[in-house]
Structure 1
Amino acid sequence: MTGPFPFSAIVGQEDMKLAMVLTAIDPGIGGVLVFGDRGTGKSTAVRGLAALLPPIEAVAGCPVNSAHEGEIPDWAQVADRAVVEKPTPVIDLPLGATEDRVVGALDIEKALTRGEKAFEPGLLARANRGYLYIDEVNLLEDHLVDLLLDVAQSGQNVVEREGLSIRHAARFVLVGSGNPEEGELRPQLLDRFGLSVEVASPKDIDTRIAVIRRRDSYDRDPGGFLAEWRGEDMALRQRILDARAALPGVAAGDEVLRDCAALCVALGSDGLRGELTLLRAARALAAFDGADTVTRDQLRRVAPSALRHRLRRDPLDEAGSTTRVLRVVEEVLA
């Protein structure tokens, strides 16, 4: 038995793991941006999350993972319409991908052999109801950034070219990773990520030894290592399912709303997306904790990931974004 490295077996990087779990509980949070050094487990965590997530119910032959027959797009020729369980899709968007591969295009083979104008779905169709993962997201070409912004805003992919006029649902959680030394992310796309996380190589010798030991065990005996950690992964999966079920009943009082607004005003974040994301993330964390009400403790824990990438640059403040957020959190929530 082989598979990706177990999510639960990842050593450290608790902020990154928690952010990904919160988006699994509430995809409406808006995705996760992970910036940090090479070799810190960014892509390993994404692939481990894919194996951890509960399956989705979808029409077997539907190219966009429709939940039931009534949602199948008109253009899709679906022979098998039975509703089955499928693994939650996690689709990689490579940097060199063409626009046609991302959004879909005319099926050239059918056009040449049968004279039919048929649509060949792209990566966005496959990612619907799942995750779209972009490694080195800060190096993504500008025209693909613009395209992703449009789709993220509307939840639909629209293709109008070569005599085709196609649209289909494209709702996915965007997960991006990158090294900040290789370039900055465009502000418009940066703002679309609900949570952001900074990861770094562990400095503690014992932690590094634990990483080496687990990775070596996995490389030598993948099947045995997966079996050893399966119980931990399944327990985490059940916690995610329980949190999803409890999420609609988690309350957030006026005091929490005031705290969200006060934090964003103190930090000078633009718009209201910061408050809304902070509230959703705190509510998801409360559900994950088994609480029925959001508290300041949850706000404190999610504030850095929800707000650090929404700060205006301050040339007079040499502190990093995480330090600035933590400082304001302590001042506002003292």
Structure 2
Amino acid sequence: MGEGCALGVVLLALGGTISVPGGARGARLSGAEITAAVPGLTDLRVPLEVRDVQAVPSGSLTFAQVLDVVDVASRAVAEGADGVVVTQGTDTLEETAFLADLVWPHEAPFVLTGAMRQPAMAGADGPANVLAAVRVAAAREARGAGALVVLGDEVHAARWVRKTHSTSPAAFSSPDTGPLGHVVEGRVRLLLAAPRHEPLAAGCDRERLEASRVALHVVTLDDDGAQLQGLEATHAGLVVAGFGVGHVPDVLVPRLGTLAEHMPVVLTSRTGSGSVLRHTYKAPGSETDLLRRGLIDGGFLDPYKSRVLLRLLLASGAGRDHIAKAFAVRG
């Protein structure tokens, strides 16, 4: 049960497709309206408290706003909630879920969900996703699992989940692991357990967070690195999404090495799954060459989640060695 007297599940409603009714421009469904349209929700016999927090499309969410939502959720758990559900847009769901997971300190599940189709569309998926998310948030099996993403009756770890299709209702998957579990006939079945790590400090100074800008450079064919010029003056860190196992054109190598002398530079793969390597290839621009020049191994973390982790670490005042150790543990 919860950490105080049990309140059941608290649902925090943001914006996103799940809240877009169609028709009037700018109209938004409240959390109460979203849950009222969910068949079978009252039959769960799970006390549900619904709160509206930020009416923000997920593409416009900021780190600070997400951390504010986590704070609200944390207070709800401290007051006795058994779990929390957050409804939001799916565009940045994989990033907001990972940010929440990095700082979530409770055993109570933190479950994020949304929709790929608006409520007025044929085959709207929002109601089923909310029902499944509430089931997971209330389930003993989900306790201690951190932040979870629930869509299409699949339960994904925030650490692994990605949005892999722009329009399909089955847009979310975890390419490296598959889902942790499923909701089957109303029963939450978790088949795998995601590793949990000590949460990072959620109360970082918001001014420092704002100042801890992290750039993301996706390497492309015949990339001349022009976008990397002057980065030391504007950003505190860089994530490089390299080819394949972590390769870049050799012309970029001196520039990346110089940047690594001034800021943490994390090497990841742009492929969408799999890990960067450490010492298989030796040519200029290879992973061995780049790591030798001071870049940090991102492991299995994709570029988007690496950027989330790096920015949060920088905002907490972490130095390069601490950052490298954090990526070694979490990547």
User: What TM-score comes out, normalization by structure 2 length?
Assistant: 0.28
Q: Which has the higher contact order (CA 8 A, sep 6+)?
A: 1
TM-score of the aligned structures, taking structure 1 as reference length:
0.28
